[in-house]
Chain A
Amino acid sequence: MNIHPDQLAAPLPGGQAQVPAPDETQVPSRWGLVARRFFSQRLAVAGLAVLIALFLVAFLGPYLTHWRHTDQDVSAFLTPPSGRHWFGTTQSGGDVYALTLRGLQKSLVIGLLVALISTAVAALVGSFAGYFGGWTDRMLMWLVELLLVLPSFLFLVILSPWFRGKTWLIFVVLLAAFAWMVMARIVRGMTISLREREYVVAARYMGVTGPRVVFRHVLPNISSLLIIDATLGVSAAIIGETGLSYLGFGIQAPDVSLGTLIADSTDSATTHPWLFGFPAGVLVAIVLSVNLVGDGLRDAVDPSSAATR
């Protein structure tokens, strides 16, 4: 075993600790650099902080009160926020705090899952189309174009009677199935530009098979783009999910989503503002903070975009 010289230079007892001279050959890692650039942006950091806070509140907050989202307090109908019910109560005595947190959990989990799945699909379709070209490319891009013709929202509405009453995971898969197309196009464009790079060509000439080249050499090199896409995909997925639930095509009663809560309170927004204000405020807070983080990531990964944005 080799002992690094630094490890031998232990601080002398009673003397000043020796500060090792910075190793000038050490280059900061790419992700270290990205992290530093990210944390130097105030808005992005604020977004991240809000997002973490929302996650904590969503999963720990319910333990702070004994009300559950299914509970009905028959002694308090439509009461404004108070010590007993922090966010007030609904017409049937439901605790708005518990309901909002339940909806927040649903929206966060659905948003994350949908973003992960749709980014994975976009990466696969885009990189295979771009790398293999020819008929693979033509067929896949044609599928993309076809799915983009009709707003995907309408497809989901049409399919909603079919997944109504089934597990919400089907809803997640369907949301993801209609959310990958634009990104797949961008990934394809980037793959085409990577295809003729030396390291990709070298791998090909060494006899590495096509799919392996895609997974080992192409996708890792567009990973930063994929991470940004996944982040921004979270906010798009949350807007899609709450929108469908708002119209009654997504999450169904007795379960709640921020969308169903907002739908139920739209008509009483003027008379009972707490019913509308809390779920709507939380929803805007998630989407805004996710967007801020995504935007900050983009600037951190690609500093040249910051100047032109």
Chain B
Amino acid sequence: MLKFLLRRLANYIVLVGLAASMAYLLAAASLDPRSNYEGRNPPPPPAVVDRELSAYNLNDRKPLALRYVTWLDGLRHGDLGRFSDGDSVNAEFGRRIGVSLRLLLIATVVGGLLGVAVGAYSAIRQYHFADQAITLASFLTISIPVFVLAVLLELVAVAFNQAVGASVFIYTGEYTPGLTGGFWTLAVDRLQHLVIPTVTLVLGEVAILSRYQRSAMLDVLGSDFVRTARAKGLRRRTALIKHALRTALIPAATYFAYSFALLFVGAVFVEKIFGWHGMGELFLDSVNGNEVNAVAAGALFASTLVLIAGLLSDLAYAALDPRIRVS
């Protein structure tokens, strides 16, 4: 069991390294940090530009392989490199990582739990009204791209605020700048900002997961061991949750890892749309601003999270399926 997880972990670490390297090489090949200097007014002399770019390991006249080795060497010491104006990527990373993690963590946990619950309920009520309503709603939600869903929710929030006559939901930024007050004032303010972006992410996650969970649950519900559990006198609830749901969670756990990558991409949009200064926004701005090192750092962050999701998925798999533990 431990061996299984360790082997997966080693495999994952190699993959993260390769994915980040690939992102670095592609970014270094396709982005042009030199243009950041040449666009300045007045344009600095070429020798100065070269010196600055070389100092931050961004000089495109230096062979790509050498730049890569320098970047890799920095990474070994935990140094993610510099922006083209000399600022440390690490510092920016530290400022933003919390913002993204908060959004992603809440959305993953809430979306995961709700998705499983909704899917399982839908399976138990197969072909009843609730099931059909849930299926239709999730089908519709899957078909709405996140950048449309975000605007629709914003419209709902506007309508709600107008109906109540107070701004209950706030949909720009993650907190009100300059707001003073006690802990509770600030906490409530953050919560008001949090709701709409989180719901945007959660809805998509629930829609996808619930469909997988529903089909996994339906496969299990017809099987003999659930009938046996009922026949030996277990209460319906116990039979459904302890016997059926537990088994049905195994295939759903695999989809969790896949759906996390989608959730991450969704979060990039959500940060951009709702003005959250997180890693996703940094990534997009860095591509636009030709910041090779920051792009690579963003890719490293994304691939690490995807693989943590994969590892959690493996852990859940091992915890739920005894056959993996003993082999």
B298 CB contacts on chain A under 8 angstroms: 154
Any B CB within 8 A of the CB of A242: yes
From A163, which residue of chain B is reached at the shortest CB distance? B30
Report B-chain residues with C-beta under 8 Å of the C-beta of A309.
214-215, 218
Whole-angstrom CA separation of A157 from B265 in the bound complex: 11
> At the interface, yes or no: B145 with Cβ under 8 Å from chain A?
yes
Whether the pair A150, B151 counts as a contact (CB closer than 8 A) is no
Complex CA gap A113/B154 in Å reads 33
Known: A146-B15, A157-B287. A242 touches B145 (CB 8 A): yes
Find chain B residues with CB under 8 A from A266 CB.
147, 151, 273
B19 within 8 A of A: yes
| Cβ of B96 under 8 Å from chain A | no
Q: Mark A216-229, 1 if CB is under 8 A from B, else 0.
A: 00000000000000
Partner of B144, one of A146, A159, A284: A284
Cross-chain contact A155 with B26 (CB below 8 angstroms): yes
Check if B15 sits within 8 Å of A145, measured CB to CB: yes
Query: For B31, what are the chain A residues with a Cβ–Cβ distance below 8 Å?
Result: 158, 161
Question: B258–A159 contact, CB under 8 A?
Answer: no
CB pair B303 A157 closer than 8 Å: no
Contact yes or no, B19 A262, CB < 8 A: no
Contact yes or no, A151 B265, CB < 8 A: yes
Return the contact of A161 from the options B214, B269, B272, B287 (Cβ within 8 A): B287
Residues of chain A in range 211-243 having any CB-CB distance to chain B below 8 Å: 235, 239, 242-243
- B144, B151, B299: the one within 8 Å of A158 (CB): B299
Mark each residue of chain A from 270 to 298: 1 if its CB lies under 8 Å from any CB of chain B, else 0: 10000010001001100110011001000
Query: Are A158 and B15 interface neighbours, CB within 8 A?
Result: no
- The verdict on B239 contacting chain A, using a C-beta distance below 8 Å, is no
Q: Which residue of A lies closest to B123 (CB)?
A: A308
Q: Which residue of B lies closest to A246 (CB)?
A: B147
Instruction: Please give the number of chain A residues whose Cβ is less than 8 angstroms from any Cβ of chain B in the complex.
Output: 42
Give chain A's interface secondary structure class. Answer: helix
| A269 interface residue (CB < 8 Å to B) | yes
Instruction: Kindly identify, within residues 139 to 168 of chain B, every residue whose CB is under 8 Å from any CB belonging to chain A.
Output: 139-140, 142-148, 151, 154-155, 158
**Beta-carbon nearest neighbor of B28 in chain A:** A158
CB-defined contacts of A292 to chain B, threshold 8 Å: 139
In the complex, B276 has a CB within 8 A of chain A:
no
Residues of A near B302 (CB, < 8 A) are 150-151, 154
* A162 to B29 Cα, complex, angstroms: 8
* B282 interface residue (CB < 8 Å to A): no
Judged by a CB distance under 8 angstroms, whether B283 is at the interface is: yes
Contacts of B268-327 to chain A: CB distance below 8 A:
268-269, 272-273, 283-284, 287-288, 290, 295, 298-299, 302-303, 306-307
**A149 and B32 form a contact (CB under 8 A):** no
A160 within 8 A of B: yes
Minimal beta-carbon separation of B67 from chain A (angstroms): 16
User: Which residue of chain B has the shortest Cβ distance to A182 in the bound complex?
Assistant: B258
Residue B85 interfacial (CB < 8 Å): no
Q: How far is the CA of A135 from the CA of B218 in the complex (A)?
A: 38
Q: Are A154 and B23 in contact (CB under 8 A)?
A: yes
A148 touches B (CB below 8 Å)? yes
Q: Separation in Å of the B100 CB from the closest CB of chain A? A: 13
Decide: A243 and B306 in contact? CB cutoff 8 A: no
B264 within 8 A of A: yes
Whole-angstrom distance between the Cβ of A294 and the nearest chain B Cβ: 11
Cα distance, A269 to B214, chains bound together (Å): 35
Binary A-proximity of B119-148 (CB < 8 A = 1, otherwise 0): 000000000000000000001101111111
- Residue of A151, A242, A307 ringed by the most chain B CB atoms within 10 A: A151
Verify if B219 is at the interface (C-beta below 8 Å from A). yes
Contact indicator B287/A150 (Cβ below 8 Å): no
Are A149 and B306 in touch, CB under 8 angstroms? yes
Residues of chain B lying within 8 A (CB to CB) of residue A87: none
Q: Quick check: is A131 within 8 A (CB to CB) of the other chain?
A: no
Query: Is there contact, CB below 8 Å, between A162 and B303?
Result: no
User: Which residues of A have CB within 8 Å of B219?
Assistant: 308
Cross-chain contact A291 with B143 (CB below 8 angstroms) = yes
A171 at the interface (CB under 8 A from B): no
B261 at the interface (CB under 8 A from A): yes
The reply on B55 being an interface residue by CB < 8 A is: no
- Asked whether, in the complex, the Cβ of A149 is within 8 Å of the Cβ of B16, the reply is yes
Q: A149-B16, A150-B19, A291-B143 are in contact. List 7 more A-B contacts (CB 8 A).
A: A154-B23, A160-B30, A162-B30, A246-B145, A269-B154, A284-B145, A291-B142
Interface residues of A (CB under 8 A from B): 145-146, 148-151, 153-155, 157-162, 182, 235, 239, 242-243, 246-249, 259, 262-263, 266, 269-270, 276, 280, 283-284, 287-288, 291-292, 295, 307-309
Can you offer 20 A-B residue contacts whose CB atoms are under 8 A?
A149-B16, A149-B306, A155-B23, A157-B283, A157-B284, A159-B26, A159-B30, A161-B31, A161-B287, A243-B145, A243-B146, A247-B269, A249-B287, A262-B151, A266-B151, A266-B273, A270-B158, A287-B145, A291-B142, A291-B143
Which 7 residue pairs of A and B lie closest in terms of their CB atoms, listed nearest first?
A162-B30, A288-B143, A149-B19, A287-B143, A150-B19, A153-B265, A151-B261
